[in-house]
Structure 1
Amino acid sequence: MFIKSLRSLFVMLVIPLVLSMGLGLSASAMAADDQSSQQQAVQTSDADLWRAVKAGESGYTVAKGVETGVLINVVGNEGEIVRNQYLTPVMGITVVGVFAAFLFFYLVNGPSKLSKGFSGKMVLRWSKADLWIHWVMATSCLALIFTGLNIMLGKHVLQPYIGEGLWAALIYGSKTIHDWVGPIFIVSWLLCVVKWMPMQTFKMYDLKWFLVVGGYVNFGPFKGQHPDSGFANAGEKLWFWSLTLFGLFIAASGLMLVLPGLDLPREASMAALLIHSISAVIIIAFTIVHIWMATVLSEGGMECMVSGYCDENWAVQHHNVWYDEMRDSNSIVYKD
């Protein structure tokens, strides 16, 4: 009887204990499953969040301004890739390639000599105002070119070979000069366009100028050919209209980049930067050509932009239409 009572007591104690353990294990399993589900949901939510951020989707922020809700701007990143991987190498190739091409041409061809030599009679070609406009624009343009090249190419060409302190000063100085010289170039560029545009109309005889390379070739079938040309030859007209168009692009995009009050969206800023860089590449190429043509390739050409006068034989050989018009109208002004 006593043993039977012990068995009953044991059953009464063990069964609740077993049930309690079973319920506890079930509850723990359910809690673990719930926690795992929550963690998975959080991970999925984080992945979706960052996927949206990387895609450039806009979120919410209390900050005020343009695109403050966008954490990563896709267009900006893609524009930076285009600038660094394509435009920067193209700019370097343009500078080296165009300069090398004209150096090779000069070494093979030599300068374009005056067929009748210098006459000693100097004819007025440019006024004092023209000279001031030209040299202010030329100086500011060269300053922008050299500082712009340092900004674009300096980290590849100079930075690895100079100290960090010197590089910091150099890049800061380039950026400062670039920003402050820009308005000077814009004003002089605008005066140049307004004052010189009437002389830059293309004529039918300009086509022959291109066909015979302006008469600058000293060998082969082009040797000795001096095509007709007005006040500006066809090459100068091409340079003028390129400067007019891409100078406008450079001026507008440059103002967009440096004026803080505009508060432009990132897409507009990147578009301005790319337009600025592409236009700069074209202007740099034409500037190198212009300098070569005006200095070493054209005998007597540089004197025009120094004193404003050109030798009469130079005028007859390189700008005969203009010279004939002045002669026929009796408006030639000689230097005393």
Structure 2
Amino acid sequence: MNRITRFLAAAALALSLATPAMAQLGGPVTGTPTNPITTPGSADELELMKALNGGRIAGRGSIPDVQSQVLIQPEGREWRDFHNKTLTWVGGIAVLGMLAILVIFYMSKGRIAIEAGPAGRTIKRFNGFERAAHWMTASSFVVLGLSGLNLTFGRFLLLPIIGPEAFTAVSLWGKIAHNYLAFPFTLGIVLLFLVWVKDNIPNARDIAWFKAGGGLLGHGHPEAARFNGGQKMVFWITVLGGALVSISGYILIFPFVMTDIAGMQLAHIVHGVLSVLMVAAMIAHIYIGSVGMEGAFDAMGSGEVDLNWAKEHHSLWVEQEMAKARDTIGGPAGAKAAGAD
């Protein structure tokens, strides 16, 4: 009798502990309990989602944050599919496609040389403040781009090569760098806009520049002022795309401050798609500004570019600078000073 009494007491205690737990999970306290744990994609999950009929499963919590009480929200499945499938395809096509185009272009055209050859004289292209703002934005973007690409492709490309421990460390430090470098990147976007917007207003001359292939396709160099049509396109991709990437990124850095879970999922989609497209565009920009064109890197390196390079790619701007020098110094000496080293 004592054993039976102890058994019944233990059973009653177990039942009393299980009942609140079932209520916390939202399952029935009598009859056969519903098991909330299912395998993704299994028949149990499909049956559960069918029973939800587009709704959510929520429990009860002891803290004020009601967001933590949501166990399942169907929109999360769509976001997961986007992150694991759609973004991978979009990013892969954009980045690898751009790399393939540049390889084909280099193999067919080679490096774009200065047709008249180096003049041996230089002209001031960008001052120190402009170069500092550019390099702050560019260096931040490189780290942001690499750490972001790791979040999308790292599990498939990097993890099998370096192993789980090294991949964990790389991803952790990449996440920290990604969060903090968002601030100098945003500042750089603002500075570049303020400094260069007046020279990047599109006009009819840019249409002629694109029709002529920018001097990269075929022969001859179309007229251009301080920035040509291609550089203006890069400028607006950087400014507008960078602004949207920054705003959506801050929504993710500070969760639930500006929006709810649905808004954060939308912000992630915008952030992911625009980021991979910007990476593809900046790969082309880096190629042209380095190995793709002779003399182009000097503009952001020393700030001084070869005079013949400037005449070929920015002829109207050179004329304007020569005119300024003549007005300032007076006579032919002004033109010589504008093109002197």
Give the aligned partner of residue 144 of structure 2.
144
User: Does structure 1 retain, via aligned residues, the 8 Å contact 2:147–2:178?
Assistant: yes
Normalization by structure 1: what TM-score?
A: 0.80
Paired-residue identity, %: 28
> What is the CA deviation profile of residues 69-107 of structure 1, one whole-angstrom value per residue up to 9, with x for unaligned ones?
432111122112022111112212222221121111111
- Once residues 67 and 231 of structure 1 are traced to their aligned partners in structure 2, the CA distance between those partners, rounded to angstroms, is 52
- Once residues 69 and 43 of structure 1 are traced to their aligned partners in structure 2, the CA distance between those partners, rounded to angstroms, is 23
User: Does structure 2 retain, via aligned residues, the 8 Å contact 1:134–1:192?
Assistant: yes
Q: Which stretch of the first structure deviates more once superposed, 57-66 or 134-143?
A: 57-66
- Once residues 316 and 49 of structure 2 are traced to their aligned partners in structure 1, the CA distance between those partners, rounded to angstroms, is 69
How does 1:220-299 map onto structure 2 within 5 Å?
Answer: 222=218, 224-260=219-255, 262=257, 264-299=259-294
How does 1:200-215 map onto structure 2 within 5 Å?
Answer: 200-215=200-215
Query: Could you list the runs of 5+ residues in structure 1 that have no partner in the other structure?
Result: 1-38
Residues 1:194 and 2:194 are matched in the alignment:
yes
User: Does structure 1 retain, via aligned residues, the 8 Å contact 2:57–2:73?
Assistant: no
Q: CA deviation at 1:263?
A: 6.9
Q: CA deviation at 1:167?
A: 1.4
Q: CA deviation at 1:208?
A: 1.6
Greater relative contact order structure (CA < 8 Å, 6+ sep) = 1
User: Does structure 2 retain, via aligned residues, the 8 Å contact 1:53–1:72?
Assistant: no
Q: CA deviation at 1:237?
A: 0.3
User: Does structure 1 retain, via aligned residues, the 8 Å contact 2:56–2:70?
Assistant: yes
> What is the CA deviation profile of residues 285-319 of structure 1, one whole-angstrom value per residue up to 9, with x for unaligned ones?
11011011111222111111101111111111000
For 1:56, the aligned partner's letter is G
- Once residues 140 and 50 of structure 1 are traced to their aligned partners in structure 2, the CA distance between those partners, rounded to angstroms, is 42
For 1:112, the aligned partner's letter is I
For 1:268, the aligned partner's letter is G
Q: CA deviation at 1:45?
A: 8.9
Residues 1:82 and 2:79 are matched in the alignment:
no
How does 1:78-117 map onto structure 2 within 5 Å?
Answer: 78-117=78-117
For 1:55, the aligned partner's letter is G
Question: Which of these residues, 313, 316, 322, is aligned with residue 321 of structure 1?
Answer: 316
Q: CA deviation at 1:213?
A: 1.4
Query: Could you list the runs of 5+ residues in structure 2 that have no partner in the other structure?
Result: 1-27, 36-43, 327-334
User: Does structure 1 retain, via aligned residues, the 8 Å contact 2:54–2:74?
Assistant: yes
Q: How many residues align?
A: 292
Task: State the structure with more CA Rg.
Answer: 1
Q: CA deviation at 1:162?
A: 2.6
Q: 1:327 to 1:334 in 2, by over 3 A?
A: closer
Match of 2:67, SS? coil
Give the aligned partner of residue 296 of structure 2.
301
Q: 1:51 to 1:69 in 2, by over 3 A?
A: farther
